[in-house]
Copies of this chain bind each other. A is one copy, B any other.
Amino acid sequence: MEPILLYDTTLRDGTQGENITFSAEEKIKIALRLDDMGIHYIEGGWPGSNPRDLQFFDLAKKVKFTHARLTAFGSTRRPGIHPADDENLRALLASDTPSVTVFGKSWNLHVEAVMNNTLQENLAMIRETVAFLKQHGREVIFDAEHFFDGYKDNRAYALQTLTTAIDGGADFVVLCDTNGGTLPMELEAIIKDVSHRLHSYHPTPFGIHTHNDCGLAVANSIAAVNAGAVMVHGTINGYGERCGNADLTTIIPLLCLKMDRPCVAPENLTKLRQLSRFVNETANLVPLNNRPFVGKSAFAHKGGIHVSAIMKVPRAYEHIEPDLVGNQRRVLVSDLSGKSNVEYKAKELNVELGHNGLDSRQIVAEIKQLEQQGYQFDVAEGSFKILMEKFTDQFEPLFELESFRVTIEKDKEQPCAAHATIKISVGGKHEITAAEGYGPVSALDNALRKALGKFFPDLDTMRLVDFKVRVIDGRRGTAAKVRVFIESRDQDQIWSTIGVSEDIIEASWQALADSFQYKLANEKRIRSAPKTQEPELLHK
């Protein structure tokens, strides 16, 4: 089957999304990861629209991509001027990318009612812009903005914008469903018609660029591929304006695994989840757990029936093998779980059940009780491990809290000042100390580290990488119960812990204490176990 060219616009269209912002340096980091993934085109930004994108293209000049072509995005020339006099086009050339993408209007409504332009001048803008960029040696991709809406309003004109771009020398024309309102059945029919007409005119290959306003961006992209598109535009995690762009983290595995259309090598496909997480972290957004293929829940099983089935035959409830996309199976523990979930989990976390006369059925009952109070162990496996150890009398606390006091003071417009005093005991020895911090949790964290540091020098390698607070029942306002979730890591592992209380400091303390207990217990295990292999980077 003919391979598909992947065109990523996370760095340009993706940043139109609410809450999505990247610095120029972050864009470079993402571009390198996209290159490493085997993406064919990386649209870096719109150098004519903002200084950050100019800076990105400057930085990119020093970067060597092994696989991807970098492309700069811009619009057709302004009406009534020569392309060489258009500063936007000059900025495009100055970006010095091998490829350039220009968008032009394909919908008469936009040309006339929005731009106050004539249909004729719009065509001249398209042709001259493409020709000008070709003269300067660029590969030119023409984005036909609002193509499908234009086709429905004025088919002849919409098609003419494509043939005009081809006349100008465009290497690709891309059909854009800019407003995201087109359904797959009509999109496929339109593309079949366009493909037929275009190819009787000239064999220029065409691409697809969809938006997710109907929840159909992925479906539309693969329908377009079925109808002959050879280039697919999208963003990592589907970031983009309004409801987002087509999500490449879904489209790539669909093309590779379900449609037999080569686009990235199988060994690159296994990096998909990491890439999704990387972009997620860089955008600093909460990852969407149920994102197809790459989400944390994509292969997570909660119902008791499902769990007992996948333990026998994984494909009974999994449409692909999770490791093909770098993901993994997870078994969740909740009040919907049967004992098979707990047993699976205990094995995974190295906890022996059956001590103390407690069996997994009783543990399930206890979990139900705690989930009633607001705990959620499916997102805090570190705390769940400690909990199971406590239930089965296997928990050996490596430190104990005697007391702490945290104070935060503020004077008029001065910033707050926070400090904490803490007293702990380790193996019968007491330690009392105090620390400042950037806030109360930081002060407490610092004080605890300082106190523990006297006993456990290995703590240096551990750091907190995420901290989330969620009000459990908002109706109670600031008196509501909160759930604090902490993700920590060292060089070998990532682990997550949880605390629940009406007091954010109490909840943070629970999660912090669990996190340190988890780390210290692990260090102890590693030191006492014969070292047979390198510890893996695990999500626990």
A482→B183 contact, CB < 8 A: no
A292 to B180, CA, bound (A): 10
* CB atoms of A181 and B319 under 8 A apart: yes
Central interface residue in A16, A219, A298, A463, by most chain B CB within 10 Å: A219
Enumerate A131-187 residues with CB–CB distance to B below 8 Å. Answer: 178-181, 183-185
Whether, in the assembled complex, A81 has its beta carbon less than 8 Å from a beta carbon of chain B, the answer is no
Question: A216 to B219, Cβ gap below 8 A?
Answer: yes
- In the complex, the chain B residue whose C-beta lies closest to that of A50 is B336
| Residue A343, interface by CB 8 Å | no
Other-chain residue from B180, B258, B298, B439 in contact with A243 (beta carbon distance below 8 A): B298
**B284 and A470 contacting across the interface, CB-CB below 8 Å:** yes
Q: Are A464 and B477 in contact (CB under 8 A)?
A: yes
Q: Any chain B CB within 8 A of the CB of A213?
A: yes
A440 in the interface (beta carbon within 8 A): yes
Contact with B along A461-503 (1 / 0, CB 8 A): 0011111111111110111101000010000000000000111
This chain's copy number in the assembly: 2
Assess whether A412 is interfacial by the CB under 8 Å rule. yes
**CB-nearest residue of chain B to A463:** B477
A57 located at the interface, meaning its Cβ lies under 8 Å from any Cβ of chain B in the complex:
no
Cβ–Cβ contact B416 & A298, under 8 A: no
Contacts of A243 in B (CB 8 A): 290-292, 295, 297-298
Contact between chains at A468 and B469 (CB < 8 Å) = yes
Interfacial chain B residues near A49, Cβ < 8 Å: 304, 336
In the complex, A242 has a CB within 8 A of chain B: yes
CA of A218 to CA of B216, assembled, Å: 7
A241 touches B440 (CB 8 A): no
Task: Assess whether A113 is in contact with B316, with CB atoms less than 8 Å apart.
Answer: yes
Q: Is the CB of B469 within 8 A of A469?
A: yes
Whether A114 contacts B316 by the Cβ 8 Å rule is: yes
**Which of A121-129, A306-314, A530-538 lines the interface with chain B?**
A306-314
Q: Are A19 and B401 in contact (CB under 8 A)?
A: no
In the bound complex, residues from chain B placing their C-beta under 8 Å from that of A256 are none
Which one of B290, B401, B444, B446 contacts A242 once the chains associate, using CB atoms below 8 Å?
B290
Q: A289-B19, A295-B243, A300-B242 are in contact. Are A410 and B416 (CB under 8 A)?
A: no
A376 contacts chain B at the CB level, 8 A cutoff: yes
The CA-CA distance from A473 to B501 in the complex, in Å, is: 25
Cβ < 8 Å to B, chain A residues 270-296: 281, 284, 286, 288-293, 295-296
Q: How far is the CA of A16 from the CA of B473 in the complex (A)?
A: 21
The reply on A404 being an interface residue by CB < 8 A is yes
Cβ 8 A contact of A213, one of B110, B319, B379, B405? B319
Contact partner of A502 (CB less than 8 A), chosen from B244, B247, B438, is B438
A residues lining the B interface (CB < 8 Å): 15-19, 21, 49-50, 52, 109-110, 113-114, 178-181, 183-185, 212-216, 218-219, 222-223, 226, 238, 241-244, 247, 250, 254, 258-259, 281, 284, 286, 288-293, 295-304, 306, 309, 312-313, 315-320, 332, 334-336, 371, 376, 378-379, 400-412, 415-416, 418, 437-442, 444-446, 463-475, 477-480, 482, 487, 501-507, 509
Q: List 11 A-B contacts (CB under 8 A).
A: A18-B289, A50-B336, A181-B319, A214-B319, A408-B440, A408-B503, A439-B482, A440-B440, A442-B479, A465-B475, A466-B471
